[in-house]
Amino acid sequence: MNLISINNLSKTIGNKPLFQEISFGIDEGDKIGIVGVNGSGKTTLLKLLVGFLEPDNGNIYKNKNLKISYLSQNINYTEDQTIEEHIFQSETPIISLIKKYHKACEEIVINSEKQEEMELLHAEMDRVDGWSYESTVKSILQELDIKDLNKPMNTLSGGSLKKVGLAQVLIEDYNMLILDEPTNHLDIDTIVWLQNFLTTLGKTIILVTHDRYFLDSVVNKIYELDSAKLNIFKGNYNYYLEKKAEIESSETIAEEKARAFVKSELDWLKRQPKARGTKQKARIDRIHEVMDRDKKEKSNDIELSVSGRRLGKKILEVQNVSKNFAKYPVINNFSYIFKQKERIGIIGPNGCGKSTLLNLIIGKLLPDLGFVSAGLNTAFGYFEQTSAELDNSLTVIEYIKKTAGENMKLEDGRVITASKMLEKFLFPPSLQYAKIEKISGGERRRLFLVSILMRNPNFLLLDEPTNDLDIQTLSVLENFLEDFFGCVLVVSHDRYFLDRVVDYLLVFQEDKTIKGFPGNYFEYLDFKKDLESKKSEEERLIKKESQPKQSKDSKSVKKISYKEQKELEKIEEEIESLENEKSVFEKVVGDSSKNYNEIAEAGIRLNEIDKLLEEKLERWGYLSSL
């Protein structure tokens, strides 16, 4: 079933055309990822689909049964809102019913006359299966670790705000989910949960994200906004990359042929007598047509080996550092000596102290215990989570020249100008002379990054660098960091970025200590799974050894009793029944045609079955050994 049809849609912001006369349809079950550089119109397109913006030209036709739930990049809330008020602010029939029911439950304690009203609401909850919906809501809140619903929204961190925003849109009554950068500010565990949730969700999904693993797992179509046009690829992110490479290879060949044709024909034109000028008009027109063709700009793959300041023997030493906030420990007794060309990632849940560690390293914060000592030649470049305020009155090129200088020296002796550096980071000349007030939020973030790199640091600290940056810019940054001569310390929730950039991890532990791991993020995941498996096996052996042991003589004469034999037979039947039931519910969870409530209920039941099976198998093992 078609949910939205778009016909000849055009939108211009300021004097910049974002897309022109694009047409496409969105069907039930589509899972679409929208990609494109910052400023190409991804968020604008989402807002047009939701109805927050109007197109300049073209039409958007919506199915009368369409129900959209939309997550914007920034979570909007009123100052006095609590988490509960924000999550349940929607007035959909089922949410309104649940709110009325809970209010009646509270009022009946002091007013017995509310009994009849509560019974009617109870009956209505039965009729619309409100209990199942309420169970689903509780499951989502639990997975997102949202506990205190009375907490004011204005006290939450960026990560907590994003979780509350996600909860609010996921519990809505919808058949189309539109998500704008849903992974921003989330920790990796929550991203993995959301990825798995959306993969099994039997609803239409449209999302903008820079998380390439997320795109690869969730979507079945890629919509690319490029040069005011829309290109559609029917597959996941990996498929899109393959097809994109094929197209660019084909375009390169076509461009080379066009150049050869123009050269050949220009030579011919120069050789012709002027009197024959009208005789070959068609041929001349063809030459001009090829010369005036739209030439696709090549992507700016960066190839920079920055000269920079040389690091001394001592780079950075952190010794026995501890930090508390209001007597709550954040970092406990951390020590590390940084070495040449290290690529280190910092991982841990939201609020564990990752940004605090970076601020201790650069001296923005002082440790309560221990010390941080940088080498004489160490020059930090700190790309913070929140970019510095940019002067809106400046143009892009003026800002770079003012904050970072006219040029930067490369390792081979060449000098790259501010303009060329901006081009490498996807600011074409036409955009370099635009006022900062006219560029998008993602472009501002990218501009701030260029200003940091242009200052020629030899120790880069990147705090959530992937937030608000498009995939193309991340690829450019990853290539830049591969050739960067200095140290790199990265806080990131982007698994793809971590895997490409780092080869060592600092992992925040529950006891506020920080442990090192030699490897990238997915190697760490494998190590963690192996560790948990060994721990489970050790616990099983300890439990087995702690059971009373029988002597050989007593075991030789002991036989299973009649009652135990009957219990063993019954348990075997129960195990078989549970395994059959488990198989049924696993199919429900994997069936994208099922609605969200069915899938959520199946997931809850699967957890119950796993626990029951574990108990039954343990008892069966004991009885079988008699």
Lowest mean pLDDT among 20-24, 282-286, 351-355: 282-286
Task: Report the percent of the chain where pLDDT is more than 70.
Answer: 85
Averaged confidence pLDDT in the chain? 84
The number of residues making up the chain comes to: 626
Distance CA 129, CA 596 (A): 13
Instruction: Write out the residue range of the structural domain in which residue 133 sits.
Output: 76-180
pLDDT at residue number 489: 96
Whether pLDDT at 217 is above 70: yes
Is the pLDDT higher at 187 or at 276?
A: 187
Phi, psi of 381 (to 5 degrees): -125, 115
Phi, psi of 34 (to 5 degrees): -100, 125
Burial class of 192 by CB neighbour count within 10 A (0 to 12, 13 to 18, 19+): middle
Lowest mean pLDDT among 120-134, 509-523, 526-540: 526-540
Are residues 58 and 92 both part of a single domain? no
Are residues 515 and 388 both part of a single domain? yes
pLDDT at residue number 274: 55
* 535 pLDDT tier (thresholds 50, 70, 90): confident
Are residues 461 and 606 both part of a single domain? no
pLDDT at residue number 302: 40
Does the residue 272 lie in any domain? yes
Are residues 381 and 487 both part of a single domain? yes
Does the residue 201 lie in any domain? no
pLDDT at residue number 130: 80
Q: Which two tokens stand for residue 211?
A: 């998380």
Distance CA 543, CA 537 (A): 10
pLDDT at residue number 543: 67
Q: Which long-range contacts (CB under 8 A, 24 or more apart) does 359-362 make?
A: 360/318, 360/321, 360/323, 360/331, 361/316, 361/318, 361/461, 361/489, 362/461
Distance CA 447, CA 427 (A): 9
Task: Report yes or no: 117 and 583 within 8 Å, Cβ to Cβ.
Answer: no
Are residues 354 and 419 both part of a single domain? yes
* 605 pLDDT tier (thresholds 50, 70, 90): confident
pLDDT at residue number 557: 43
* 401 pLDDT tier (thresholds 50, 70, 90): very high
Phi, psi of 372 (to 5 degrees): -120, 125
Q: How far is CA 593 from CA 64, 129, 598, in A?
A: 20, 20, 10
Are residues 503 and 559 both part of a single domain? no
What's the first-to-final CA gap in the chain, in angstroms? 60
Does the residue 209 lie in any domain? no
pLDDT at residue number 279: 45
Tens-place pLDDT, residues 246-292: 887 787 777 777 777 667 766 766 666 554 555 466 656 665 665 56
Beta-carbon contacts of 419 under 8 Å, excluding residues fewer than 6 positions away, are: 397, 429, 432
Whether pLDDT at 298 is above 70: no
Does the residue 458 lie in any domain? yes
Does the residue 116 lie in any domain? yes
Are residues 359 and 467 both part of a single domain? yes
* 549 pLDDT tier (thresholds 50, 70, 90): low
Are β-strands 221-226 and 229-233 bridged in parallel, bridged antiparallel, or unpaired? Answer: antiparallel
The domain boundary, picked from 180, 203, 223, lies at 180
Are residues 449 and 519 both part of a single domain? yes
Whether pLDDT at 303 is above 50: no
pLDDT at residue number 65: 93
pLDDT at residue number 555: 44
Task: Report the percent of the chain where pLDDT is more than 90.
Answer: 38
Looking at the 3D structure of the chain, how many domains does it have? 5
Are residues 341 and 447 both part of a single domain? yes
Are residues 17 and 112 both part of a single domain? no
Are residues 271 and 351 both part of a single domain? no
pTM of the complete model: 0.72
Distance CA 499, CA 521 (A): 6
Tens-place pLDDT, residues 471-502: 888 888 888 888 888 899 999 999 999 999 99
Are residues 91 and 58 both part of a single domain? no
Tokens 């081979």 -> residue: 412
Q: Which two tokens stand for residue 518?
A: 């030699």
CATH assignment of the domain containing 403: 3.40.50.300
pLDDT at residue number 308: 52
